[in-house]
Amino acid sequence: MGRNNHLDWTERYRPSNLSEIIGNGSAVKQLRSWADSWAKKRPKKKGAILVGPPGIGKTSAAHALANEYGWDMIELNASDKRNASSIDKVVGHGSRSDSFSEEGEFRSSARGELKLIVFDEADNLFGREDYGGAKAIVQAMRSSAQPIILIVNDYYELTRRASGVKKLAMTIYMEIPSANQVLNALKIIISKEQIEIPSEVLVQIAKNSEGDIRAAINDLQSIAHLRPDQMSEVVMDLGWRDIPPQTYQVLEEIFLSKDPSEARKALIRLDETPDKFILWVDENIPRVIKDARARSSAFDMLSRSDIFLGRVGRRQHYRFWAYSSELMSMGIAVVSGGKFDVYSGTIRRFPEYLIKMSQSKSRRNALKTLISKIAKEHHTSSEVARESIIPYIRSLCISNTEFAVELAMELELQPGEIALLLGVESDSDEVERIMNMTEGADRSSSEDDEGKDRADRCVEGQQLSLFEF
């Protein structure tokens, strides 16, 4: 099956085996011994609770375990409705009916017919909708004939709601991997993807992740399509280093958790101003919310949030930040929280918009200077130059090299500006030829210019739309 075809690298490179789990040697050992006891039909404990912060491999460990032991797996996460009856249905199906009714008796299922039941984000499932869910989990674990794993960030939240699990399950703490361990994981991925990434970029991503492997892989994927020099620029200069810790977790609270007021609190704790953070929320709304109505409501909320930011800017009345923050956290959570069946890996940690801005910096500068040169030449505004003059000039430059060369000389156009007019990259041959011809013409006009012939050829057959730049 196509796990390897997953678009999300966090899915594509999920460990298929416990030995691939990053770090956490002792947690893996404990997990194996628990699983072995099940495999030997003498389970020490019915369940295991995997505890640790987001993105360090808890879910992956559960997946890897099922895979390694050849067990089927039934997984429930925050997006499922987990009230008592649905838990009963799933667990009942997985743990009792199958094994007992079909095999006659549970102990006879020795050929890997165990089913691993995984409650992901188990500390997050006891909202009002999940009434009775906590109790049902304890109940399920007590009566289960199948191994159950509960995955939690917050052990106390779980045991407070379902104290019975303490006795029924083995608690395994997973540790935050070091930056070096994350770095090694990233290196394996890029060698499999056969891409080249400057090492300082990898180190920075690993450092930034603070042990959150999922975030690191997401970051890696979000820049993988760039050229190496652009990667450096994006990661080193774009404030990537300044992404506050916990950004990703706050986004999860906003988009996935069921309690909007938690989203608000999480954003308050985050060391980031709302005018910056809004870009992160903006990036993720359409990634998480595909339903047109909900998406429109979410953007409407964000639009209102942005209006308060505008008012702060104009009046320097920073109190408005509170409303802006609440609309972008609580407000979006009300629309989104726990309603959509998305994998948390879809949440992006770095806004594509900023990457595009950084990537196009030199192009935008060239565009700006080109527009202002032409506006000045034609006694007009930038807007008129861009909309009513440049399109025509582009067309003339594309169809007539001589015209392009003369224009380049008169306005002292730079390669980047010529590239925009021709609709090509600034390091392309066409641009170089035109630059050479302007120099040639500067030196001497009598010299026989073979460049002209070449340049004539190079623009031949180009039918670019004038607005492609």
Partner 1 sequence: MRHIWIEKYRPKRLSEVVGQPEITRRLASYIGSSNMPHLLFAGPPGTGKTTCAIALSRELFGDHWKENFHELNASDERGIDVVRGKIKEYARTAPIGSAGFKIIFLDEADALTPDAQSALRRTMEKFTLTCRFVLSCNYSSKIIEPIQSRCAVFRFRPIKKEDISNYLSKIADQEKVKLSEAGIEALIYVSNGDMRRAINSLQVAASISNEVDEDSVYQAASTARPELVRELVETAIKGDFMKSRSLLDDLLILQGLSGEDVIRQIHQSVLDLPIKNDLKVALVDRIGEAEFRLVEGSNNRIQLESLLAHFALKGKGD
Enumerate binding residues for partner 1 (CB under 8 A). Answer: 275, 278-279, 282, 286, 292-293, 295-296, 298-300, 302-303, 306-307, 309-313, 352-353, 356-357, 360, 363-364, 367-368, 371, 375, 377-384, 386-389, 391-393, 395-396, 399-400, 403, 406-407, 410-411, 465-467, 469
How many CB atoms neighbour CB 96 within 10 A?
16
CA-only gyration radius of the chain, Å: 29
Q: List the one residue out of 77, 87, 50, 23 whose CA is nearest residue 170.
A: 50
User: At closest approach, how far in Å is the CB of 298 from partner 1?
Assistant: 8
Q: 154: which 2 tokens?
A: 């917050």
User: At closest approach, how far in Å is the CB of 401 from partner 1?
Assistant: 12
User: At closest approach, how far in Å is the CB of 294 from partner 1?
Assistant: 9
How many CB atoms neighbour CB 411 within 10 A?
17
Residue type, 32: R
Nearer Cβ to partner 1 (11/275): 275
CA distance 384 to 388: 5
CA distance 67 to 149: 14
Nearer Cβ to partner 1 (184/395): 395
CA distance 433 to 148: 69
Q: List the one residue out of 146, 220, 140 whose CA is nearest residue 183.
A: 220
Nearer Cβ to partner 1 (228/286): 286
User: At closest approach, how far in Å is the CB of 366 from partner 1?
Assistant: 10
User: At closest approach, how far in Å is the CB of 253 from partner 1?
Assistant: 20
Helix ranges (H only) for 210-317 are 213-223, 228-232, 247-256, 260-269, 274-288, 292-315
Nearer Cβ to partner 1 (167/319): 319
User: At closest approach, how far in Å is the CB of 5 from partner 1?
Assistant: 20
Beta pairing, strands 169-173 & 47-51: parallel
Helix ranges (H only) for 173-259 are 179-193, 199-209, 213-223, 228-232, 247-256
Nearer Cβ to partner 1 (322/357): 357
User: At closest approach, how far in Å is the CB of 396 from partner 1?
Assistant: 5
Nearer Cβ to partner 1 (67/400): 400
User: At closest approach, how far in Å is the CB of 450 from partner 1?
Assistant: 23
* Cα–Cα distances in angstroms (integers) from residue 279 to residues 208, 232, 283, 355, in the given order: 18, 21, 6, 12
Q: 307: which 2 tokens?
A: 């209006």
Q: List the one residue out of 342, 343, 412 whose CA is nearest residue 376.
A: 412
Nearer Cβ to partner 1 (123/282): 282
User: At closest approach, how far in Å is the CB of 8 from partner 1?
Assistant: 15
Burial (CB < 10 A; 0-12, 13-18, 19+), residue 145, is buried
Nearer Cβ to partner 1 (298/347): 298
Nearer Cβ to partner 1 (135/386): 386
